[in-house]
Homo-oligomer: A and B are copies of this chain.
Amino acid sequence: MRSQYCGELNSTHIDQEVTLCGWVHRRRDHGGVIFLDLRDRDGIAQVVFDPDTGEHFQRADKVRGEYVVQVKGRVRARPEGTVNPDMPTGEIEVLGKELVILNSAATPPFQLDEHQSVGEDVRLKYRYVDLRRPEMQQKLRFRSRITSAIRSYLDQNGFLDIETPILTRATPEGARDYLVPSRTHANNFFALPQSPQLFKQLLMVSGFDRYYQIAKCFRDEDLRADRQPEFTQIDIETSFMNEEEIMGMTERMISGLFSSLLNVELGSFPRMPYLEAMQRYGSDKPDLRIPLELVDVDDLMQQVDFKVFNGPANDPKGRVAALKVTGGAKLSRKQIDDYTKYISIYGARGLAWIKVNELDKGIEGLQSPIIKFMPVEIVMALMERVGAADGDIVFFGADSAKVVNESLGHLRLKLGEDLDLYTCEWAPLWVVDFPMFEEDGNGGLTSLHHPFTAPSCTPEELAQNPEKALSRAYDMVLNGCELGGGSIRIHDQAMQKTVFKVLGIEDEEAREKFGFLLDALQFGCPPHGGLAFGLDRLVMLMTGAQSIREVIAFPKTQSAACVMTEAPGTVSSAQLRELHIRLRQVEGKAE
């Protein structure tokens, strides 16, 4: 029905007869002539209908925005002075000869170029209209190009695309599962997978050697800013490869993607141990575009007669750190107050600061509400430690290490954004050497990743000193986002049992939950490992979208609903009976 897409046309098509199909983006009547901007997924072309085309002119006169039409005509150069350099097809126009109205359109709920005048709820309700916007078309098209490039890379490297089940059993990630009542097995439930973790490990036990899947995953969590109940993971697992090889192979995949699709060379990704990332950036996913760093000053603060500082400085779980911002002395009191408020979200009870006006005047050249509590030599040692210069500001955090890291870590990101401190556009890195466990808050330990992550020590060392054990896990971080993470897995039964023991998981519980995996470990499990990337986030970063909702065709709202289809919805009592369940009444109604 068409010879070209609208957006494909350019001056090489001049004098060609073309047939276009698309939507009327704009219609103008100018000097007795009808101008139609015709839009399809490739772009917009201008079509001109002169009155001498008779019925076709009449129809062109009649069409309105979002009508679907087919146009036949001849491409010609635009008259001098009407060339539009901002438009890819701006050098040409189509002199229309025939116009067929394929479908009419009621006035849409919002104009495409005025989409910001309506709330996101309206755009989500009429998602099929919102998706017509060229930006949305480009984002989803780019997503398709990303998955295609990833598949092609993995296919070429011998990875097999293998599907794992959606109707399955609870997985070990620990978030809340979506459940599906079984009709044939009364009072039993399937769980939707939080990831294909166990299945991909079983595929390694099966000898598939290299597996990948672009897999839907599900978590029934209260949605924070940028989460979705269902999300998509680029899931990879290999046998007989160590962490270096896996990191190398996936780094080349991501670098290749940026190179081929964005013409960006990411270079070689630096490696940073988890501890260093926490010390220097207060985060396990540091945004290295921002040149600010946390500097430890515990030793200087230990002797200070100021409880806010010397308490955390002398506490083994405490931390006192400084964050110097070059040129930050210009921040107003109001701005500093706002930052103080901002970091209170992360538990900080205040934000101490020193402005450096004239450093060669010594303490007199500094401005700060806290220096009066400290000996001069300590203050000057602090200045030296952070390398302060005139015009800088130095912030301080003093609390538990957790609170200091979170608050100064986030302050660092906020300052980077507010003051536009970015030194580059893209800053990838690998974070490695994670601890195996973290405290679970109840005196026990919990896996930092998941209980199948291999430690970099022997089972005996692990049992003796689990708090110190490091894992063979690795996270790929880009611009402060965790793009992906993975690990070498445990392939040895004794090691797996030791980990369960450290976690306080009884044999019986382990058998009940992961019996099939434990079985599998004893029947010839190869050394293996892998990694999973969050596709939605990757596409968001690469397209510069503000939210993952912009790169998902039909996303859910923050309350995990689809306003377009009105899902979830009610079901009949016959359906419930078949599923052997009944509703529990809520909100004070009788049960």
Chain A residues packing against B (C-beta within 8 Å): 1-2, 5, 21-23, 39-41, 66-68, 70, 102-106, 108-109, 126-129, 131-132, 137, 140-141, 143-144, 147-148, 151-152, 155, 160-170, 176-192, 198-199, 202-203, 205-209, 216, 218, 220, 222, 229-230, 232, 239-242, 491-492, 515-516, 519-520, 522-527, 552-554, 556, 559-562, 564-571, 575-587
Contact = CB atoms under 8 A, between A and B. Distances in A.
Contacts of A127: 202, 206
A553 B220 CA distance: 26
B105 A186 contact: no
Nearest to A586: B186
Contacts of A170: 569, 571
6 shortest interchain CB distances as A-B pairs: A105-B524, A131-B206, A188-B568, A66-B524, A169-B567, A182-B568
Contacts of A208: 41, 131, 137, 140
Given A160-B141, A584-B580, A165 B230 contact: yes
Contact of A41 (B5, B22, B176, B209): B209
Given A553-B163, A581-B584, A584-B577, A131 B40 contact: no
Which one of A103, A141, A188 has the highest number of Cβ atoms from chain B below 10 Å of its Cβ?
A103
B205 A128 contact: yes
A412 B553 CA distance: 47
A568 B180 CA distance: 9
B559 A242 contact: no
A588 to B, nearest CB: 12
Given A209-B41, A526-B103, A527-B103, A182 B565 contact: no
Nearest to A5: B209
B161 A147 contact: yes
5 contacts: A103-B492, A109-B523, A131-B207, A162-B553, A582-B583
Contact of A178 (B140, B163, B167): B167
Nearest to A165: B554
A521 to B, nearest CB: 8
A68 B578 CA distance: 47
Contact of A183 (B128, B140, B176, B184): B176
Given A40-B209, A128-B520, 16 more contacts: A41-B207, A108-B523, A127-B202, A144-B162, A148-B151, A166-B216, A166-B218, A167-B230, A167-B567, A178-B180, A178-B190, A182-B560, A187-B583, A190-B568, A202-B564, A581-B582
B105 A187 contact: no
Contacts of A128: 202-203, 205-206, 520, 523
A147 B21 CA distance: 31
Contact of A579 (B179, B492, B562): B179
Chain copies in the assembled complex: 2
Contacts of A183: 176, 220, 560
Nearest to A181: B179
Contacts of A576: 584
B192 A180 contact: yes
B168 A140 contact: no
Contacts of A527: 1, 68, 102-103
Contacts of A184: 222, 559-561
Given A524-B67, A579-B179, A553 B203 contact: yes
B132 A553 contact: no
A548 to B, nearest CB: 12
A41 to B, nearest CB: 5
Central interface residue in A155, A209, A232, A567, by most chain B CB within 10 Å: A567
A179 B178 contact: no
Contacts of A131: 203, 206-208
Contact of A161 (B102, B144, B568): B144
A151 B584 CA distance: 45
A39 B524 CA distance: 12
A164, A554, A561, A576, most chain B CB atoms within 10 A: A554
A111 B279 CA distance: 53
Contacts of A561: 182, 184-185
B554 A199 contact: yes
A518 to B, nearest CB: 11
A569 B526 contact: no
A9 to B, nearest CB: 16
Contact of A569 (B106, B164, B169): B169
A458 to B, nearest CB: 16
